[in-house]
Chain A
């Protein structure tokens, strides 16, 4: 079992739909990161959070430390949101907080 699991693996949505991507982790973390990887390969950091909720534009990230679960929400989705979204846990302790990655969720938003 992977230490960081994401679901779904693939997601197709119509423009305007509300989207949720889930991330569960089994390790102790100091922070949880959400990353966006564009079709060209570039990676952008969307959020880093250790508790509660963060919002940036149409993107919202939440984390429940007790349940070891995080969600990324996209409101009013748009075709330009099409990308791979990657959850990564910053694992404290022996690994010095380095990132353990989920396998990513490939999102395709159709016009």
Chain B
């Protein structure tokens, strides 16, 4: 158990819908990262937050947004869903931001498996 929790574990929805994925980082970790893993693209970095502030964006679509709350949990919002958004979404946390010497070890949550029909 990494100490990072993600809910829900599975999500089935229809095209055009909006969903919210939730992540609680490990106790003491201030950085939260969101990743997408699809069959054709592999793992891709989406976005990073550190202590409530956005630190970096990767290959995140405009239809997607995220935030980190004062209690450090984070939510990833996916809207106008398309079939191609079906993937595993992972959250990870670390003590430092990745810009600080790589950020330290990242601890991954169990992931949310999203299926868009």
Contact = CB atoms under 8 A, between A and B. Distances in A.
A83 to B, nearest CB: 13
Contact of B55 (A43, A96, A101, A104): A96
B102 A97 contact: yes
A87 B87 CA distance: 20
Contact of A31 (B33, B42, B102, B111): B102
Nearest to A96: B56
Contact of B99 (A96, A99, A100): A96
B102 A30 contact: yes
Given A44-B2, A48-B104, A86-B43, A98 B111 contact: no
A88 B35 CA distance: 13
A30 B101 contact: yes
A33 B88 CA distance: 20
A11 B110 CA distance: 25
Chain B interface bracket (under 10, 10 to 19, 20 to 34, 35 or more): 20 to 34
Given A43-B90, A96-B55, A90 B102 contact: yes
B56 A98 contact: yes
A51 to B, nearest CB: 12
Of A29, A35, A42, A98, most buried by chain B (CB within 10 Å of CB) is A98
B88 A98 contact: no
Contact of A96 (B43, B97, B113): B97
20 contacts: A29-B102, A30-B102, A41-B110, A42-B110, A42-B111, A43-B111, A44-B108, A45-B105, A48-B104, A50-B101, A92-B99, A96-B97, A97-B101, A97-B102, A97-B103, A98-B45, A98-B98, A99-B106, A101-B44, A102-B42
Contacts of A42: 108, 110-111
Interface in B73-117: 88, 90, 92, 97-108, 110-111, 113
Nearest to A86: B43
Q: Give 4 nearest A-B pairs by CB, closest first.
A: A31-B102, A97-B98, A96-B56, A90-B102
Q: Which of A30, A44, A50, A102 has the most CB of B within 10 A?
A: A30
